[in-house]
Chains A and B, each alone.
Chain A
């Protein structure tokens, strides 16, 4: 078995005096997909934000490839892609400009590749239309276009299926499966009924979390 990318050891998080999870330990291995499950308010998004390094109010350890994540912050960020609830899309910019801005801090890609990535997410013909004229689903697709050009081994995806139509969901599922088959690691939350082969689960809301 290969080395875990990200490892959570005895994570505990308290919010507004309520313990969301405690003694939560799991490892994210290359070539696996983990689905974080739990009812509304059970702390799924909080957990993902903690894993991504956006939320520091937790106790326990997070290890990036066996080392303390804080020490390897830059390396961790270079190898992790996070898509949150809020898609990170500027309404005044076109999909093309948005994607270019989002990728600018990560990899320099030629415009042609970005254009094709937008085509691949079903936004052909909309590449230069301001995003505020697009529907909610189309705006999410702009954010999802990043997945087509991403080479980060770890993806942290929060509610990615929101506002995506049936065909989009199927394409995205296929992408995730391919991704995992090729050795990527994906951790997702979704209320969508996701049934993918080799899917592991982390369940929140039942008090103690358990290892997959």
Chain B
């Protein structure tokens, strides 16, 4: 049942390329998430509920909602991403797949990037797709809805990428949830300020190109730096477990 074993170092041509390994990580995460849809629905439901409850709890006035709408949507999106972060590495850590991920020969930060991307596709992207409906519900005007979706489209990957650092750092801890929020929320604030600021500017008819460019810069920064930080944090967490 065994094949011939020889002790030769593996030649590079039999090894798997980084892109293939990243794709495998990405696909595996999507597959697992789709087999456990309640984990996917939870943050979405949270998002919808918060936005729905605001007019009921505060004021259903059109003028108020128009003013506060973008803020409500952004805060709800931010919190629902935060809600889903604890799962990002937790299950992998518990069942040992994370150890195997760290021991893959490919650069860990790229594998982590693939995981963050999968997290965004599973949590951030559905929020972006739901946002127009909820935007209309809080009486955002035509152009503002489009801008809101655009800011969420650029902003939610940043939330996933930064969140991955916090999730990796708090992995070995028991009361991870509280610490995760405390660590991550300060880093989310710039994204939130620019996200809502851009929508407000759009509703006032001001140009938004500059602010969108800045958010794009956030995304590039997060995409290039966050995976390195997450990979280092994962190593530390595994080293202490």
Contact = CB atoms under 8 A, between A and B. Distances in A.
Interface of A: 5, 30-31, 52-57, 74-75, 77-80, 82, 84-93, 97, 100-102, 104-108, 120, 130, 148-149, 151-153, 175, 178-179, 182-185
A152 B91 CA distance: 27
Contacts of A184: 5, 7
B35 interface: yes
A100 B23 CA distance: 12
A120 to B, nearest CB: 4
Nearest to A178: B2
B58 interface: no
B97 interface: yes
Contact of B96 (A5, A84, A108, A175): A84
Nearest to A65: B9
Interface residues of B, number: 40
A107 B5 contact: no
A106 B99 contact: no
> DSSP class of A's interface residues: helix, strand, loop or mixed?
loop
Contacts of B99: 54, 82, 84, 86, 88
A162 B28 CA distance: 27
Nearest to B15: A78
28 contacts: A56-B235, A56-B239, A78-B15, A79-B10, A82-B100, A85-B96, A86-B99, A88-B95, A88-B96, A88-B100, A89-B96, A90-B28, A90-B95, A92-B36, A97-B28, A100-B24, A104-B21, A105-B16, A105-B21, A105-B105, A106-B16, A151-B5, A151-B6, A179-B2, A182-B6, A182-B7, A184-B5, A184-B7
Contact of B94 (A52, A75, A86, A104): A86
List 10 A-B pairs, minimum CB-CB distance, nearest first: A86-B96, A104-B24, A105-B104, A182-B5, A88-B96, A183-B7, A77-B105, A105-B21, A120-B1, A153-B7
Nearest to A154: B7
Contacts of A183: 5-7
Nearest to A73: B105
B24 A101 contact: yes
Given A90-B97, A91-B95, A151-B6, 18 more contacts: A30-B7, A57-B240, A77-B103, A82-B103, A88-B95, A88-B100, A97-B28, A97-B31, A105-B21, A106-B15, A106-B104, A107-B14, A148-B1, A149-B3, A153-B8, A182-B4, A182-B6, A185-B7
B175 interface: no
B103 A104 contact: no
B30 to A, nearest CB: 12
Contacts of B235: 56
B106 interface: yes
B182 interface: no
A101 B97 CA distance: 10
B75 interface: no
A37 B21 CA distance: 35
Contact of B20 (A97, A104, A153): A104
B95 A89 contact: yes
Given A77-B103, A182-B6, A92 B35 contact: yes
B28 A93 contact: yes
A147 to B, nearest CB: 8
A175 B32 contact: no
A176 to B, nearest CB: 10
